[in-house]
Amino acid sequence: MPKILIVEDEPSMRAGLRDNLEAEQYDVECVGDGLAGLERMVSGTFDLVILDVMLPAMSGFDVLKKAREKRVLTPVIMLTAKGEEFDKVLGLELGADDYVTKPFSLRELLARVKSVLRRREPAGESSPGMVLGDIVVDFSTYTASRGGRDIVMTPREFDVLKFLWVHRNQTVTRERLLTEVWGYDDSISTRTVDNFILKLRQKLEEDPANPRHILTMHGAGYKLIP
């Protein structure tokens, strides 16, 4: 039974989410502020976190940032009442797996929960490892190293890298990455993809300004060259 942590300060919203997720046979735990949410993300074992942006004690953005810094790779769906592109992009770039804008329908949230959990299921041969020189990446365990030393990456960075690796030597458009990795069409700016590519180069390329492996195909997209 998948275990879900809800970090939401509004009691009625928290209770409603819990009741409906438990009705779908999920094991649910709830906390009401950002500090408690961070503590449980770090100390507990969850399959998914539903994290509100506007929280007392610590914002959802700060919770997510600190959790990722502590190598907590649990998938996160963010709840935001703002709906502005800046908030969506910031959450995704900090390592969120998805977001839902309030007010939302229960059907939409449940669909996103199922989608995120499905993406995190072991995929056998579809989750290959990657070797680039002295860089070794295991997509099944979300671990990476260079010369035996760990490379810290967010779950979404692994997902982007995996997609590029599976389609290596092929040009992949920004729009295709948004659709197939994030699950969005045009609701998120393609600048999000560019920012993720920049971060991957900083972590994987010897000279990020002159990349050898993750190349920009001007006017088309990106290509990973082994």
- In which band, very low, low, confident or very high, does the pLDDT at 181 lie, cut at 50, 70 and 90? confident
Average pLDDT over residues 75-102: 80
Q: Provide the pLDDT for residue 156.
A: 84
Q: What is the CATH number of the domain that holds 25?
A: 3.40.50.2300
Lowest mean pLDDT segment, chosen from 16-20, 118-122, 199-203: 118-122
Buried b (16+ CB within 10 A) or exposed e, 191-222: ebbeebbebbbebbbeeeeebebbeeeeeebb
**Co-location of 145 and 53 in the same domain:** no
Could you tell me if 76 and 91 lie in one domain? yes
Task: Give the Cα separation of 198 and 220 in Å (integer).
Answer: 16
The answer to whether 30 and 9 are in contact (CB under 8 A) is no
Looking at per-residue confidence, does 141 or 209 come out higher? Answer: 209
* Mean pLDDT to the nearest integer, 116-121: 75
Give mean pLDDT, residues 181-185. 70
Domain boundary among 51, 86, 119: 119
Q: Are residues 27 and 77 in the same domain?
A: yes
Q: How many domains does the chain have?
A: 2
Q: Determine what percent of the chain is predicted with pLDDT higher than 90.
A: 55
Round the average pLDDT of the chain to a whole number and report it: 88
89 backbone dihedrals φ, ψ, rounded to 5°: -65, -45
Residue 125 has pLDDT above 70, yes or no: no
Q: Are residues 99 and 136 in the same domain?
A: no
Q: Which of 71, 100, 119 is the last residue of a domain?
A: 119
Domain match, 114 and 129 both: no
- Domain hosting residue 20, numbered range: 3-119
Instruction: Grade residue 23 by pLDDT with cuts at 50, 70 and 90.
Output: very high
Same domain, residue pair 22 and 101? yes
